[in-house]
Amino acid sequence: MQLDVLPTRTSGAAENMATDFLLLQRYPRATPRFRHYGWRGPAFTFGYSQKIALVRASLEHVEPPFELCRRATGGGVVDHREDWTYALVIPRGHPLEERPATHSYREIHEALAEALREQGVHAITKPCVDDPADDEKPAGPAGVCFQRAEIYDVVRARDGAKIAGAAQKRNKHGLLFQGSVWRPAAVSGGVTVDWDKFAEDFIAQLAVALEVEAQATPWPELSDDELSALVDQYSATEWTEHR
């Protein structure tokens, strides 16, 4: 088995979310697949179960225009204006897909942290849950990513600041893992990151974790009509505001 590494694409928020979902639902091969992608303009995404009123409240300080899109995965609000974004799909039946969500989250983030360390970033995975009685923990609105790290997020070793987080969706086809690296946190303290080399190292570490060989792979022939319908769904007001 191999890890299919798909070409990088840059799209709007709705198309990015639709493409990730199709890579889970309609990929023609039962192999893990990975893609890094960019954003056409300022964008925020938020988890499927988030309340739209709380999401909008958390973004009151952000000057428009920006795209706002609800994801199919969970998690909080993610700022994509300065992040490095990726999606990984692990198909049904792969050993890592069958493990609990916390296990896959940790394995993938350990691979990411190792790739960052290769760049000189002192990154680790957060080893435990914060003590609710600890008044020194960083504050931030509930549901907003990169303001507070959760267990197995990637953080800076020196101060615990969050560098990377992710959200997951599991169904009969497998596991969709949508991840984001907050670049400003990674380069804090004068560190220079070669993001192309980071991508190579991250993919290599993922291949080790998945016990597969990474292989550059052309885009599959996904249905244009199905993609267009999903883009319409993800961009619709009804989808964004249905909770």
Torsion sign over Cα 237, 58, 112, 210: negative
- The predicted model scores a pTM of 0.91
Instruction: Identify the band that residue 223 occupies on the pLDDT scale cut at 50, 70 and 90.
Output: very high
At 11-40, the pLDDT tens digits run 999 999 999 999 999 999 999 999 999 999
In angstroms, the CA 27 to CA 49 distance is 25
Residue 86 has pLDDT above 60, yes or no: yes
195 against 98, higher pLDDT: 195
Q: State the amino acid at position 11 in one-letter form.
A: S
Residue 224 has pLDDT above 60, yes or no: yes
Instruction: Identify the band that residue 129 occupies on the pLDDT scale cut at 50, 70 and 90.
Output: low
Q: What is the mean pLDDT of residues 104-124?
A: 97
Domain boundaries, the chain: 2-128+141-240
Count of residues in the chain: 243
Phi, psi of 103 (to 5 degrees): -70, -50
Q: What is the mean pLDDT of residues 114-140?
A: 72
At 51-85, the pLDDT tens digits run 999 999 999 999 999 999 999 999 999 999 999 99
Q: What is the pLDDT of residue 20?
A: 98
Helix (H) or strand (E) holding 94: none
Instruction: Identify the band that residue 142 occupies on the pLDDT scale cut at 50, 70 and 90.
Output: very low
Q: What is the mean pLDDT of residues 98-109?
A: 91
CA dihedral 157, 158, 163, 166 (to 10 degrees): 40
Q: What is the pLDDT of residue 130?
A: 53
Q: What is the pLDDT of residue 101?
A: 85
For domain 2-128+141-240, which architecture applies? Answer: 2-Layer Sandwich (3.30)
Q: What is the pLDDT of residue 4?
A: 98
At 199-212, the pLDDT tens digits run 999 999 999 999 99
Which DSSP letter does residue 63 get?
P
Tokens 């007001």 -> residue = 237
